[in-house]
Each structure stands twice: as C-alpha cells, then as structure tokens.
C-alpha cells in the first residue's frame, strides 16, 4: 500500500497524471492535457470561466454532458450534450481563459475537453460541475 501511494505521488510530481481541475500548471505542459474551471458550482445559466492546455497543432473542443463528439458534414456535433466551444488549437500549449454558460438544469454535470484524433474526437480530460438553484 505504501509503495502504491509513493508511486502515485511520484507520477503526480512529474506531471504524468491527468489534471482534473484546479489551478493550471505554472508552465505549460504540452504532453499532458488539462482543464480547469473557475468554480465547481454554478447557478443555472451562470457564467463559468475555464482554461485548458495540451499539445500544439491539434484540434480541441469543449463540451458538457456529451457522450461523444462526431463530425457531421465537416462540423462537430455533440451526442447527448452540447458543445461549449468551436474547435480550437492551443497557443504555446494553452488557450486563453474563456467563459461558458452553465446548464439551466440543476444537478451534476461533466465538462469534457475533447481532442481530435484522426476523424473523431476523444475525451482527454473532464471536470465536474454542479448546478445549484
């Protein structure tokens, strides 16, 4: 058990674990995507700030409660959720902070950062969001 905890701490210290929210790294890590939300809770329709980082030269997009993102006539479409951004690329491994409107439905939601991989998008990191009345 102690060895497992030590291994987990070493992986985290070297930035080899996915970031699930919190503060962005002090220096951009191009090989490890991250997503941070300004708050883990919001009012229905309230604005939430976000920032993300990852590899340069690759398309990313942000969605909420999406089970998948697929191309439809050259445009991304979210299945089971909604897109929060158009496709974007990182500049020096990060994107400038932006905002989106929280869902109007009260409850737990999941914000996903998708990365284009070939002809599809795959989730690379998620962050929880709770909408409260």
> What domains does the chain contain, in order, with CATH numbers?
19-131 (2.60.40)
Percent of the chain with pLDDT over 70: 78
CA angle 11, 39, 83 (to 5 degrees): 90
CA–CA distance, 124 with 60 (Å, rounded to integer): 9
**CA 56 to each of CA 38, 59, 80: distance values in angstroms, whole numbers, following the listed order:** 23, 8, 28
Does the pLDDT of residue 16 top 70, yes or no? no
Q: Which two tokens stand for residue 50?
A: 């976000």
Write out pLDDT tens, residues 115-124.
999 888 999 9
- pLDDT digits over 78-111, tens only? 999 999 999 999 999 999 999 999 999 999 999 9
The torsion of the CA quartet 24, 120, 80, 98, rounded to 10 degrees, works out to: 30
pTM for the full predicted model: 0.77
């Amino acid at each position: 058990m102690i060895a497992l905890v030590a291994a987990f701490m070493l992986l985290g210290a070297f930035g080899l674990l996915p970031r699930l929210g919190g503060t962005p790294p002090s220096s951009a890590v191009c090989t490890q995507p991250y997503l941070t939300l300004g708050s883990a809770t919001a009012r229905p329709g309230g604005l939430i700030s976000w920032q993300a980082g990852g590899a340069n030269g690759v398309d990313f997009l942000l969605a909420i409660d999406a089970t998948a993102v697929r191309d439809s006539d050259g445009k991304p479409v979210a299945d089971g959720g909604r897109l929060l951004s158009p496709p974007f690329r990182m500049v020096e491994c990060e994107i400038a902070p932006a905002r989106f409107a929280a869902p109007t439905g009260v409850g737990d939601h999941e914000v996903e950062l998708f990365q284009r991989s070939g002809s599809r998008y795959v989730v690379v990191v998620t962050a929880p969001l709770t909408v409260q009345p």
